[in-house]
Amino acid sequence: MAWIILIISGVLEAVWATALSRSAGFTKVGPSVVFGVALVASMAGLAFVMRTLPVGTAYAVWTGIGVALTVVYAMAVGAESVSVLKIVFLTAIVGGVIGLKMLH
């Protein structure tokens, strides 16, 4: 159960990071609200799973999921350029996250 919550929390990290970017310095209400809700939910989930998973593993997986999804989304909508090296390094992040899960 902790791993499922951790994955959801990692997805929510990507949501709040993207919403923060779209909030234009908190001048747009919709993205600002999405940011706040996603941030609180993401942090609450991370805090919950840290009761059973080691802090280093939980944090690395949470940030890894958030980073990978944020960059992939930005590339998909054209906000960030796509390159072979970015894809290689994102694959390395995802591989590291999977490796941490397998070691646990």
Q: How far is CA 87 from CA 35, 57, 70, 90, 95, in A?
A: 26, 23, 13, 5, 12
Model pTM? 0.90
Q: What is the mean pLDDT of each run of 10 residues along the chain (104 residues)?
A: 96 98 97 98 98 94 95 95 95 91 82
pLDDT, residue 59, reads 95
pLDDT, residue 104, reads 72
Q: How far apart are CA 70 and CA 10, in angstroms?
A: 10
